[in-house]
Amino acid sequence: MKALSIRQPWVFHILNSGKDIENRCWPTKVRGRVLIHAAKGMTRDDYDNGYDPLWASQGRVIELPPHNLLARGGIVGSVEIVDCVTTSDSPWFNGQFGFVLRDPQPLPFVPMKGRLGFFEVDESLLKSHG
């Protein structure tokens, strides 16, 4: 199954806060369910940027877990990619390309190294951790 590595806290927002766009500087033709890999790296700026007054102004209260409690370095869920767009009304869109996301599903954490772009994950690895 294909997987995509995403930095925290954006993974948290996909799984918990309705983040419906994954911003990238490259397009994709991938459609369907993909695994979400939480990248191992996360800077303090990444974490601090996880809260933006824009969300509060829209009535969204986004409470991030403490920095050290966000899962990193493994598979944490899955989501459907239904489109790749260059414009969007979603408040989460700010990239050159946006992968439109639907139906996020958390999964038990499976430690694993990530990779750039999409990468293949043997589904038997997920079953042995579930």
- Terminal-residue alpha carbon distance, the chain: 16
What's the pTM value of the predicted model, to 2 decimals? 0.87
DSSP for residue 95: S
Domain CATH code at residue 98? 2.30.130.30
Q: Each residue of 98-113: pLDDT tens digit?
A: 999 999 999 999 999 8
Q: Under a CB-based contact definition with an 8 Å cutoff, are residues 36 and 75 in contact?
A: yes
Q: Indicate whether 74 pLDDT > 60.
A: yes
As for how many domains the chain has, the answer is: 1
User: Strand 2-6 relative to strand 32-38: parallel, antiparallel, unpaired?
Assistant: parallel
Q: Which domain holds residue 34?
A: 2-127
